[in-house]
Structure 1
Amino acid sequence: MNEPPVKTKGYAFGTFKGVFTPSILTILGVIMYLRLGWVLGNVGLALTLVIVTVSSSVTFLTGLSVSALATNMHVKGGGAYYMISRSLGVEAGGAIGIPLFLAQAISISFYTAGFAEAVVALLPMLDVKIVGLVTLAILGLITVFSADIALRTQFIVMALIVLSLVSFFLGGPPDAATLNPPDVIPETLGFWPVLAVFFPAVTGILSGVSMSGDLKNPSRSLPLGTILAVLTSYAIYLAVPIFLNTVVPDRGVLLTDFMIVQKVARWESLIMLGVWAATLSSAVGCLLAAPRTLQALAYDGVVPRFLGRGYGEGNDPRIATLLALAIGAVGILLGDINMIAPVLTMFHLTAYGLLNLSAGLEELVSSPSWRPRFRVPAVLSLIGFVLCLQMMLMISAGWTLVAIAFVAAVYWVMKRRAMRARWGDMRVGLLMFGARVLMRRLARHTGGERNWRPNLLVLAGAPTRRWHLIEMAYAISRNRSLVTVASVIPENTWTADRAENLRLSIRGYLKKHGVEAQVRIQPGEDHWSGIRELVRAYGYGPITPNTVLIGVSDKPENLLPFARLVQLIAHTRRNLIIVRETDDESDADAEPCIDIWWRGLAP
């Protein structure tokens, strides 16, 4: 059952302002201006285009998966976290939501450090870390009070980026006097380390997704804005290295001069403005996204609720913003772009992988609640998941294990907290899908002596009164085969509520005593007719009880119905176990014995 829609506060942004703008401006950031030449110098043009294509393909497939998830639900604040938690459950959502928040918060330091590098390249007397911290403080003042103000400034940023790209493509070979080729070409890196540095350049789609709670129509805006941003950025990232390779043939310059894009352009000042605008806009995008992810985690009780407190008409998460700023400041103090980028890559690939897995499994299971307006074949989403996992392993198997261990640890903590979600997720549907597939395959096989196990139907009634029957069933099965504990209630007193309460009571009693069993409450005209109906009809497909376990009644009026039941069990070709327990001391002192009739014949 879907979570009931709840009216939330927000800005009601459209596709362009709420999704496309923060996504494209986060994508066209520090890597394009300051590291794309370095990528080209390390691996050459052909492999650079492969890196761009592989990275953009993962982002594109994830964009498709995000679009399918977004059009199937009323997406609220938290974006990627919200969609994963509503598909795979609150534990999986928390396990990826916390790393996702950390990735977005670290991204703030990544982009701010890029801006600081550009400033120091122009003003060498300044310190990179001090410039970064001052910039972060100013951006924090803007975003902590209003997301609307921050987004309005991004239209100016977009104009500056467009002008800088025009200046770049109208440029030509740089003036030799401005270049400083190294005497010795530095040692180059391989394909996967370079990809790890480049990949954060294409991860901006989650900036738009994280604004989902502030969108007027998330189901339309998220797929349209995300896919347009991915395709636009892909075209730009292909064009820049092709042009750069044409005008700068010196590999040593590409490896060492991080401002080569500026020196190629016709108007260098526009490139500098573009660098500043792109890095600042990317930082602002992450400053908007990270607190809203944490706010959604707080609303669901994954983290302390005070962290998600909203202020003002736009429900701005100011406390969460301050925490994101603190993490960003730590990142600026501890590392530079090349150090931060691989960490971001691992966190983003983990999030992307789970988004693709969620959409792929939803489409594969096709539960009645899965009705996206933007459908994506399950195979595409699952390919996206495999690509994310493979890229993580190829970049660094060790860090992949660390990332998986971190996610698993958060999942374990969430599971231990036994949080009860207010919404349904796909886990039951996934189990039903697996059960359906296995049942169909099981129906094709006749079994055999080698794989035979007792599938017990225990006619115990209330377990507290006939616990010896449950003990016997447990001694036979040892929780390695199927056991059903059945109880019959008269039809004239049967109600659905009473049957369900009795079922839950018996199930809880069995669980308390460590017995794994299904519970069946059967209505009947009388006790014996209900039992006969169970023996005839209980089961599903190839999984039906092959053994009936029952106690003996010493009451004379029960002898005839009991004999009829034994005859029915024999006709249905079931095994029968009859257990007799007595309080008679003379019987208790007698030598224990088990009577066996094999196919109706005494041994």
Structure 2
Amino acid sequence: MMFRKPSNAGENITKEATPLTDEEIEMSDDEEPAGDSKFDLYEEEFHTRPPMANIFNKLAQYTGGIEPTSGETKKLKEKSSNKLGTILGVYFPCLQNIFGVLFFLRLVWIIGVSGTALGFVIVFVCCCSTMLTVLSMSAIATNGKVPAGGSYFMISRSLGPEFGGTVGILFYFGTTVAAAMYIIGAIEVMLKYIVPKASLFGPIELDENIMFNNTRVYGVILLCIMMSCVFIGIKFVSKFSTISLACVLCSILCVYIGIFVANPSRSLRVCMLGDRLLNRSVVLDKEANNTFRCTKDINGPLYKLYCRNGTKDLNDEACKYFKENNVTEFPAIPGFYRPLLKDGFFQNYYTTKGSLYGEPGKEPHLDKGQSPSVSDIYISFTILIGIFFPSVTGIMAGSNRSGDLANPQFSIPLGSIAACATTSFVYLSAVIFFSATVEHTVLRDKFGGSVGEGLIVAKLAWPNEWVILIGSFLSTVGAGLQSLTGAPRLLQAIAQDNVIPFLEVFKVTTKRGEPLRAQALTFFISFLGVLIASIDSIAPLITMFFLMCYGFVNLATALNGFLQEPSWRPRFKYYHWTTSLLGLILCIALMFVSSWYYALVAIALAGGIYKYIEYRGATKEWGDATRGFQMSAAKKAILQLGDKPVHTKNWRPQILILINLDETCTKMSHPKLIDFCSQLKAGRGLTIVGTVIEGELGDKKSDSIIAKETLNRAIRDKQIKGLSEIVVASNVIEAIKILCQTSGLGNLRHNCVMVSFPEEWANDKSHIKWKQFMATLRVCQASDLAVLVPKGIDQFPYRKSKKQSANVPSDGPVEMTGTVDMWCIVHDGGLLLLLAHLLIRARAWGKCELRVFVVASEKDNTITLKKEVIRFVYDLRINAQVEVVELDQADISAYAFQRTMDLNMRKKILEDMNLRTVDTKREFQAILDKHHVAAGELTMMTNINDTSPDLPFSPLPTINVDVHENQPTEKTEETVLDEDNHPDENKESMNSHISKLKSSNTEQTLILTPDSTPLQNQRSVTFAAPTLDLNNARGDMAPEKINEFTFSPGAMHGLKQTKTGRRMHSAVRLNEMIRSRSSNASLILVNLPGPSKNESSDYNYMQYVETLTDGLARVLFVRGTGKEVITAFAE
């Protein structure tokens, strides 16, 4: 039996794998519930919803993250009995990573230069930041099953793909650079303390550059050896980590034993000249078998070094300093001594590079053995924080092994907190013990020159310094191996999540499951880090990466805890969102305190990665806290907006785009509507792209999903800030009404509707296109919505996109030049002017100039009006040329007369002649195109007598219309065709004319006379009657007295008295006026006439609009609501 959850057809948004998979589930015979009568009630549900027993079974087997293959599943079952517990799985790995090289190489020096009090503060602040982060991490780790993937998985699933990808990259860089730091530390231990004679470029004491070059060479060699171990496989690294962990624990134990057994008799003795600690090598008397002689004896090594035989040396500055100061000999590690702790409690020795500790401004004598008292770097409180912080990182080592833990929700919090508490105690107690056990002047000896180039911690340890030297070297190498092993897998996890597309190449693994490509990149980055060759320089960089990572962990917990999402139910209760917020603040503060310029670089890098992921389109949906925060903020903002009317200054075009899709719901009819809307994005308004699917919701569910993905893809391609909306209904017009009325929420809803003009409406025999268009206009008018109607949308410029979809055209212009002409005829609240201004700011129209034409009547003072308009445009801060155009009240032209007759006769005659729509348009369009003026008369003529294969029958009657002016007429009672009357009353008379017209197979002429009697066997049609009623017209002139090529002024007057005539006359006159001035304009914006309340006049309305734009390439009709949307005032 097969159960299947309905798949989301067309939806390619990548989602995290879940146990409730939408793939088919095969059920065994014993699992089938079909035969069980207890489930009969839900038998139909089993086709889409499996039984709960099966779901719980899959939940128990779910590992999360990336689903394993069948082979990997078998291996997981074999390993299930070998899962790690809290101690071995979390506690010890965290200890190994936290106790790194800095504990052995830098902690003593930090205490010495900062003093006990400030040293304690430095360690305490760093430990607090990690402890607060561990608490936050524990809350996240216990909020659901923790699958394989570790800390990156937890962070990314808590903060979302943008933050997750950003933190993942920073965490990867931090781990990779930390590997370089461990290698540099291992080389420093080897060259300075284990094998000093291995230097390739001379004694390392002479010049720091010699040490740097040696570190680079040996560091690269060690890196290659360690990467070879990593290439061998993780098993080898795991075995070596056991040895490394034992070395770490043994070294720490020996140090603490050494603290308690330290006494002056076990300690080396050091020599100080004045306040300057001397290098042990200059105090040894080589002539007496390297006997330690810290005296001013003239035969001693110090006198010979500072004051050689001869008068010249006696006057030397070094010799003077030697004679003026006493020489002191004392044990370097006298043992625990309270006065020692008290003396160095508040002292600090912050200084510049090359300066003496405690003696600023005085020149040291490095050639006289004073290097232990000289600073090799600039020292400050902030610098010391940056150097020390990497020594407390590594708290996520346990969570990184979440896939190997038997109970991650129990082990990760307990083990991580225990490890953090243990290391914090060790570090804080070490500050006290080191300050009370070692002389402070010796603590400031960074490289142990005063004790014979030895490691101070090693000299303190019991039983021998070699325990610490070997242990610190191996532990450092082990930590580096852990970083080199974990970093590539972290990068592979990021690549497999596919949140950063260009990292996709790094998700490939070998047959053994090793991420070889990621390892190669890790090797290269670590190689660059090794070239830095200085722990003090590389440590602050690592500090930034880890602090950013820890800060985001605290941010995730703070957001989840504050929002209290229903899904936020962590088992770990010892946290609060305020503690997480404190951890976040502390991490940010430490970043800027340690190095503000590194902090800015890290934040800029994180911001760049975040915006890149956002730009490329993060398709992951993980139910993260960021989304919850956005929902809460959106809800609060919408509720605060309420139902208050939007102020004019805050008004912006928020557009609902109505787009038609094909039957497959994959292609849009006019995709350039979205291009055009994107060119209005300077308005910063909301965009909703909506479409209607005809049918029942149950039957069209899959189509609606495909349609939504089609619209979303177009929105992403055009990079507009918008949403998609799909309505499924059996009646398209009703669905359009629903879409226009219900889209949006509260005040965050559309105030404009954009719909394309039905270009081929006259060829639509079913009249569906233009009826839907008229229905849209009416619902917008009733809903108080503005309407934007681009005409000729396919000729509008388009926006190039890097990710161009197949259903988006790439033809047409990209940028326009010339002018954008705005024709203001009626007041629309300034919407026309605002849209023109926004278009000019777009790249596609940016090279165009804006021209404003204001249409005035003869009664208006055009000069004054032009000044007022110019002033108004200036006050609006809009650059535009202004021109006032006067529309005179001249008598109707023959052109307007004939267009009106075309409108009246079109439906009555040619449709009844059974002509196809395309032929209908051809016949009467010819009346408009073939006209000429000669000898004071305007003649318009068309001939359709020729036989055409496209016509339904042939030959057809000839209709010749010649119009002459100045014909004598008499006033008669006029009855005219009007769109508000009922033209159907004329149908009977008209049908009689049509029937006679159809009955003839020869060339015929129809003459319409006042008595409506058709005259046969003539070659022209004469519109000469003083009245135009085709059914019951009366006139005083007989047909024989009328010139058949004329119409009278009375006829014109009668035509102008009808709404049809007046509107057609207005459309023609405006069209002539616009074409005379804006025929070459790139775009024309004009007011859209309002539709009539009488739906029977919709056909006429479409003719008016068609006439108004006759001969114009690109037109944007705009119909505002009349409310002000633009203002020149500040209040």
Q: TM-score, normalised by structure 2?
A: 0.46
Q: Any conservation in 2 of the 1:89–1:426 contact (CA below 8 Å)?
A: yes
1:21 maps to 92
Measured after TM superposition, the shift of residue 300 of structure 1 is 4.0
1:381 maps to 580
Measured after TM superposition, the shift of residue 477 of structure 1 is 7.7
> SS of the counterpart of 1:210?
helix
1:3 maps to 17
Measured after TM superposition, the shift of residue 346 of structure 1 is 2.0
Q: Any conservation in 2 of the 1:27–1:204 contact (CA below 8 Å)?
A: yes
> Equivalent residues in 2 for 1:440-459 (5 A)?
440-443=639-642, 446-457=645-656
Measured after TM superposition, the shift of residue 557 of structure 1 is 11
Aligned AA for 1:227?
Answer: I
Q: Does 1:178 align with 2:269?
A: yes
1:160 maps to 250
Which of 198, 221, 233 is matched with 1:126 structurally? Answer: 198
2:597 maps to 398
> SS of the counterpart of 1:540?
coil
Measured after TM superposition, the shift of residue 195 of structure 1 is 0.8
1:529 maps to 734
Higher helix share: 1
**Greater mean deviation of Cα atoms: 129-138 or 163-172:** 129-138
**Greater mean deviation of Cα atoms: 509-518 or 381-390:** 509-518
Give unpaired runs (5+ residues) of structure 2. Answer: 1-14, 19-63, 200-213, 279-355, 358-373, 449-454, 663-667, 793-920, 929-1063, 1075-1085, 1091-1118, 1124-1131
1:70 maps to 141
1:150 maps to 240
> SS of the counterpart of 2:748?
coil
1:250 maps to 440
What's the CA shift string for 1:304-343, capped at 9, x where partnerless? Answer: 656763565xx56577557656655654454132232222
CA distance in 2, matches of 1:328, 1:471: 46
1:289 maps to 486
1:496 maps to 701
> Equivalent residues in 2 for 1:135-534 (5 A)?
144-145=232-233, 146=235, 147-172=237-262, 177-181=268-272, 182=277, 185=357, 186-187=374-375, 189-251=379-441, 253-256=443-446, 258=448, 259-269=455-465, 270-272=467-469, 274-276=471-473, 278-300=475-497, 303=503, 305=505, 309=509, 315=513, 324=522, 328=526, 331-332=529-530, 334-367=532-565, 369-374=567-572, 376-411=575-610, 421=620, 428-443=627-642, 446-457=645-656, 479-492=683-696, 495-506=700-711, 518-524=723-729, 526-534=731-739
Measured after TM superposition, the shift of residue 526 of structure 1 is 2.9
- Taking a change above 3 Å as real, the CA distance of residues 15 and 180 of structure 1, as seen in their structure-2 partners, is farther
Aligned AA for 1:234?
Answer: S
Aligned AA for 1:117?
Answer: E
What's the CA shift string for 1:365-387, capped at 9, x where partnerless? Answer: 55555444336433333332332
Q: Any conservation in 1 of the 2:751–2:785 contact (CA below 8 Å)?
A: yes
- Taking a change above 3 Å as real, the CA distance of residues 508 and 160 of structure 1, as seen in their structure-2 partners, is closer
Q: Any conservation in 2 of the 1:163–1:274 contact (CA below 8 Å)?
A: no
Aligned AA for 1:530?
Answer: A
- Taking a change above 3 Å as real, the CA distance of residues 170 and 349 of structure 1, as seen in their structure-2 partners, is same
- Taking a change above 3 Å as real, the CA distance of residues 471 and 98 of structure 1, as seen in their structure-2 partners, is closer
Q: Does 1:59 align with 2:130?
A: yes
Measured after TM superposition, the shift of residue 34 of structure 1 is 2.1
Q: Any conservation in 1 of the 2:159–2:625 contact (CA below 8 Å)?
A: yes
CA distance in 1, matches of 2:1121, 2:527: 79
Measured after TM superposition, the shift of residue 396 of structure 1 is 1.9
- Taking a change above 3 Å as real, the CA distance of residues 165 and 455 of structure 1, as seen in their structure-2 partners, is same
Aligned-residue Cα RMSD (Å) equals: 4.5
Aligned AA for 1:236?
Answer: V
What's the CA shift string for 1:435-491, capped at 9, x where partnerless? Answer: 122112222855434323454556665697689998998898865333445444445
- Taking a change above 3 Å as real, the CA distance of residues 447 and 154 of structure 1, as seen in their structure-2 partners, is same
CA distance in 2, matches of 1:253, 1:88: 44
1:39 maps to 110
Higher radius of gyration, 1 or 2? 2
CA distance in 1, matches of 2:641, 2:709: 29
Measured after TM superposition, the shift of residue 39 of structure 1 is 0.6
Q: Any conservation in 2 of the 1:460–1:470 contact (CA below 8 Å)?
A: no
Aligned AA for 2:541?
Answer: V
> SS of the counterpart of 1:256?
coil
- Taking a change above 3 Å as real, the CA distance of residues 75 and 318 of structure 1, as seen in their structure-2 partners, is farther
2:177 maps to 106
Measured after TM superposition, the shift of residue 358 of structure 1 is 3.4
Measured after TM superposition, the shift of residue 283 of structure 1 is 3.0
CA distance in 2, matches of 1:85, 1:97: 8
**More relative contact order in 1 or in 2 (CA 8 Å, sep 6+)?**
1
> SS of the counterpart of 2:727?
strand
> SS of the counterpart of 1:211?
helix
Q: Any conservation in 2 of the 1:3–1:422 contact (CA below 8 Å)?
A: no
Aligned AA for 2:639?
Answer: R
Measured after TM superposition, the shift of residue 196 of structure 1 is 0.9
What's the CA shift string for 1:207-244, capped at 9, x where partnerless? Answer: 33333344343333322222211111111111011011
CA distance in 2, matches of 1:140, 1:388: 32
- Taking a change above 3 Å as real, the CA distance of residues 76 and 179 of structure 1, as seen in their structure-2 partners, is farther
> Equivalent residues in 2 for 1:504-583 (5 A)?
504-506=709-711, 518-524=723-729, 526-534=731-739, 537-546=742-751, 574-575=784-785, 577=787
> SS of the counterpart of 2:726?
strand
Tell me the number of residue pairs that the alignment of Structure 1 and Structure 2 aligns. 598
> SS of the counterpart of 1:521?
strand
Aligned AA for 2:424?
Answer: Y
What's the CA shift string for 1:385-416, capped at 9, x where partnerless? Answer: 33222222222222223333444455566567
Measured after TM superposition, the shift of residue 530 of structure 1 is 3.3
Aligned AA for 1:438?
Answer: A
Q: Any conservation in 2 of the 1:105–1:290 contact (CA below 8 Å)?
A: yes
Measured after TM superposition, the shift of residue 59 of structure 1 is 1.1
**Greater mean deviation of Cα atoms: 584-593 or 121-130:** 584-593
CA distance in 2, matches of 1:420, 1:564: 37
Q: Any conservation in 1 of the 2:96–2:245 contact (CA below 8 Å)?
A: no
Q: TM-score, normalised by structure 1?
A: 0.81
Give unpaired runs (5+ residues) of structure 1. Answer: none
